[in-house]
Structure 1
Amino acid sequence: MGVPLRKNVQFQLLWLGGAVSQLGTTITALAAPLLIIALTGSPLWAGVVGGVRAAALIIALLPAGVWVDRWDRRATLVWSQTVQAGAAASLAVAILTGHAPIAVFLVLAAVDGACSAFSGPSRTTAIQAVVPKDQLRTAYAQEEARGHAARVAGPPLGALLMAAGRAVPFVVDAITFAVAAVCAWFAKIPARTEERPRQKMRHDVKEAGAWLWHQRGLRNLTAVFLVLNLLGGATLLPVIVLVGERGGTALDTGVVFAGIGVGGVLGSLLAPRVSLAPGRLIVAVLVVFGLCNLAMALPFGVFWPFVPLAVTAVVTPLVNVAVSALFTELVPEDMMGRLDGITTLASRVLTPLAPALGGFLAGAAGGGPALLVSGALILLTALVAVFTDLSASAPQEVPPRA
């Protein structure tokens, strides 16, 4: 019997750093679009900035995966989070000095997205290195709980910090990334036991891609996750616009988005007890997402979207934990970084369009109609998924993560 997870100092340091940095990210995830809309008067610009960040992340995913498989994962995690701290601090300075045109938001969003491409697989491989296999499912559930707990506190805290000063949320974000970098530095992540031969990056990517290509049913799941990530990501700005249309303040918007965290924490507690295959779970997630998007448009007041967002968030950790555990079980350790990048790329390649799509729909038709459109499209995807063979994905396949 190994050391209990709660006494695993290395994992808890990684978890603490991730929790703090994710809190900062959720603070600015609301503060940034609110500030951009206030400065430009356009939800579309807020969507474009979000799209640029997602595009930078996607472009950097494959080289980041190769890098993580080749080099020191602890150093990669430390430096990527240090650069993110610098980017957030730079944005805060630009806002404080009154020199924050939209170009500054675009450039720093790209820097943050590219760094996330390196920190993501670095964290994944680091956790697998310090947690025994029989504890990984519990560790992934704790990771999910971390993220959703941050979503409970982050949005209302972001709104409160915005009220204290437009630059304050970004100062806090910079501090959280710095704390995460320190935690990663002190975590004793073991070095790899074998040195991989230095080959061209193209060869490394091709090798991992070929391994993944031969996993049955992956293409069907990739398509489903692709649509889910696109349409799910397009709902953020319509919800912000909807709350504003109903007379809500920035703090009201933060409270509404805290519903995602509340539901996510509950789902994280349930996740270790759910044994359904990822294919069945993703169909359930699509149905819940679609119905909840439609429900948010109901005219029940400013805070009503809190409820559908919370319900949606309950089912998300179930899929993420099941897929992460399956991914760890099947993927060779020396391919983990590359396959993390490839599967993330395959399932999120359209996400740069999501914020712009949500901003366009909300700007053209309003928050409610935009949510009705996205909800209908998600339900249509669920209908297609019902008649698509997703059952073969487990336990022999590695689906992409949502």
Structure 2
Amino acid sequence: MGVPLRKNVQFQLLWFGGAVSQLGTQLTTYAMPLLIFAVTGSFFWAGVIAGVRATTLLLAQMPAGVWVDRWDRGKVLVWSQTTQAAAVAAMAANVVTGLDSIPLFLALAAVDGVCTAFAGPARSTAVKAVVPPEQLRTAFAQEEARGHVAWLAGPSLGALLYGFGRAVPFVADAVSFLVAAVCAWFAEIPARTEQRPRRRMRQDLREAWGWLWHQRGMRNVVAIFLTLNLLGVASMIPVVALVKERGGPDWLVGLVLTGVGVGGVLGALISPKVTARHDRIVVAVLVVFGVCNLAMALPFGAWWPFVPLMVTAVATPLLNVSVSAVFTAMVPDDLMGRMDAILTVASRALTPLAPVLGAFAADVVGGAVALMTFGALILLTALVAAFTDLRTPQRLS
């Protein structure tokens, strides 16, 4: 019997560093709009900065996946997080000096987006390298938990630190990335023993896409995730609209949305104990998502969406952990970086359209009808998934 995951020093170092850096990212995610509004009197540039980061991340994702498969994954993780620390420290300096240069914020956001594109695949390959296949489900459950805890604590802590000084959240975020880089360094992620032949990037990507195309079950799961990400993210603005339509104050909107974090933590705790096949979990979670969307429209008051939103969030880690464990186990080691990038891009390709879709629906038909519509579409997706082959071969690399 192998070493228990809690005693796996390499993984726990990776996890701790990731938890700290994710919390730091949440601090600046909520502090940035406050800062930009204070400087410019508008939230417009905050949206542009976030858009620049998201765009550079998307554009760099696939090239980063190729290079992660070519280079030392541990060093990629260390240097990408070190660069992020330097970029956020430069943001802090931009604030402390009173320069508050928007072009500089835009440039540094682009740097952060590119580094995130490298850190994601590098982290996935590092986890696969240090965690045995039979412990992957538990490892991904622990990974899932840190994200939801950061989501819960980040907004309020970020606002608190911003109150101490405009630059404080950025300094804290820079320190968090530095901690993550040090943890990744001491984790000593093993380098690959076999060197892949150098080829054109197009050939490397074609190999990865070809491998995915021949995995019908995985291909179908990615299509399901693409639909679910679009409809799930689109549902968030109608939730806000519904609370406001029922007379809820702004603080209640925030409280309702914390249901995502509360449910996510609970789901992460129970997900390692769920042993059902991932294809059955996919269908079950889709049903839960659809029913909860419909339930939010019930006339129980402005506070009510908190409950179905929390139930939805409990189901989310069950889906993410189950599918991530299966995918990581079956993807060959020399394809992990590229497949992580490809699966991320393919499953989230429509997500940038989701807020527009959700806002449009909320404006035209109102929050309740929009949620019912999205819920019905998610249930239709569950019906399609029930009659679709989502199984994958349990082939370990």
Partners of 1:135 and 1:9 in 2: CA distance: 14
Q: Are 2:3 and 1:3 equivalent residues in the alignment?
A: yes
User: What does residue range 205-216 of structure 1 map to in structure 2 within 5 Å?
Assistant: 205-216=205-216
User: What does residue range 124-143 of structure 1 map to in structure 2 within 5 Å?
Assistant: 124-143=124-143
Partners of 2:324 and 2:277 in 1: CA distance: 12
Counterpart code for 2:301: F
User: What does residue range 86-97 of structure 1 map to in structure 2 within 5 Å?
Assistant: 86-97=86-97
Worse-matched range after superposition: 389-398 or 205-214: 389-398
- 1:330 deviates by 1.4
SS of 1:392 mapped into structure 2: coil
Aligned to 1:50: 50
Partners of 1:105 and 1:371 in 2: CA distance: 38
Counterpart code for 1:146: R
Going from structure 1 to structure 2, the CA distance change for 1:319 and 1:81 (only over 3 Å counts) comes to same
Partners of 1:306 and 1:138 in 2: CA distance: 28
Unaligned runs of 5+ in 2: none
User: What does residue range 75-90 of structure 1 map to in structure 2 within 5 Å?
Assistant: 75-90=75-90
SS of 2:223 mapped into structure 1: helix
Aligned to 1:387: 384
- State the Cα deviation string for residues 39-72 of structure 1 (Å, max 9, x = none): 6676676555434332222211111111111111
Q: 1:248 aligns with which of 247, 250, 271?
A: 250
- 1:211 deviates by 0.8
Q: 1:365 aligns with which of 363, 366, 373?
A: 363
Going from structure 1 to structure 2, the CA distance change for 1:55 and 1:243 (only over 3 Å counts) comes to farther
Identity of aligned residues (%): 61
Structure with higher Rg: it is 2
User: What does residue range 1-400 of structure 1 map to in structure 2 within 5 Å?
Assistant: 1-36=1-36, 46-100=46-100, 103-234=103-234, 246-249=248-251, 255-293=255-293, 300-301=301-302, 305-355=305-355, 361=360, 365=363, 369=366, 373=370, 376-388=373-385, 391-396=388-393
Aligned length: 392
Partners of 1:99 and 1:149 in 2: CA distance: 34
SS of 1:136 mapped into structure 2: helix
- State the Cα deviation string for residues 324-361 of structure 1 (Å, max 9, x = none): 11112211111111111111111112233345655x54
Going from structure 1 to structure 2, the CA distance change for 1:253 and 1:48 (only over 3 Å counts) comes to farther
Counterpart code for 2:249: G
- State the Cα deviation string for residues 217-266 of structure 1 (Å, max 9, x = none): 444433321132234334556667877884335xx766554432221121
Worse-matched range after superposition: 7-16 or 27-36: 27-36
- 1:183 deviates by 0.6
Worse-matched range after superposition: 91-100 or 31-40: 31-40
Partners of 2:27 and 2:315 in 1: CA distance: 23
Going from structure 1 to structure 2, the CA distance change for 1:258 and 1:83 (only over 3 Å counts) comes to farther
Going from structure 1 to structure 2, the CA distance change for 1:307 and 1:96 (only over 3 Å counts) comes to farther
Is the CA contact 1:233–1:354 (under 8 Å) kept in the aligned structure 2? Answer: yes
- 1:31 deviates by 3.1
- 1:193 deviates by 1.3
Partners of 1:33 and 1:295 in 2: CA distance: 32
Going from structure 1 to structure 2, the CA distance change for 1:246 and 1:103 (only over 3 Å counts) comes to farther
Going from structure 1 to structure 2, the CA distance change for 1:107 and 1:310 (only over 3 Å counts) comes to farther
Partners of 1:67 and 1:139 in 2: CA distance: 25
SS of 2:89 mapped into structure 1: helix
Counterpart code for 2:384: F
Partners of 2:23 and 2:249 in 1: CA distance: 27
Going from structure 1 to structure 2, the CA distance change for 1:191 and 1:331 (only over 3 Å counts) comes to same
Is the CA contact 2:224–2:385 (under 8 Å) kept in the aligned structure 1? Answer: no
Counterpart code for 1:247: P
Partners of 1:275 and 1:38 in 2: CA distance: 50
Going from structure 1 to structure 2, the CA distance change for 1:30 and 1:381 (only over 3 Å counts) comes to same
Worse-matched range after superposition: 224-233 or 92-101: 92-101
Partners of 2:148 and 2:194 in 1: CA distance: 36
Is the CA contact 1:78–1:182 (under 8 Å) kept in the aligned structure 2? Answer: yes
Counterpart code for 1:365: D
Partners of 1:313 and 1:319 in 2: CA distance: 10
Going from structure 1 to structure 2, the CA distance change for 1:170 and 1:376 (only over 3 Å counts) comes to farther
- 1:122 deviates by 0.7
Partners of 2:105 and 2:296 in 1: CA distance: 29
Going from structure 1 to structure 2, the CA distance change for 1:9 and 1:226 (only over 3 Å counts) comes to same
Going from structure 1 to structure 2, the CA distance change for 1:160 and 1:257 (only over 3 Å counts) comes to farther
CA RMSD of aligned residues (A): 3.2
Partners of 1:393 and 1:193 in 2: CA distance: 33
Going from structure 1 to structure 2, the CA distance change for 1:277 and 1:55 (only over 3 Å counts) comes to farther
Going from structure 1 to structure 2, the CA distance change for 1:81 and 1:35 (only over 3 Å counts) comes to same
Structure 1 length as normaliser, TM-score?
0.85
Partners of 1:380 and 1:21 in 2: CA distance: 36
Worse-matched range after superposition: 79-88 or 180-189: 79-88
Going from structure 1 to structure 2, the CA distance change for 1:30 and 1:67 (only over 3 Å counts) comes to same
Worse-matched range after superposition: 258-267 or 156-165: 156-165
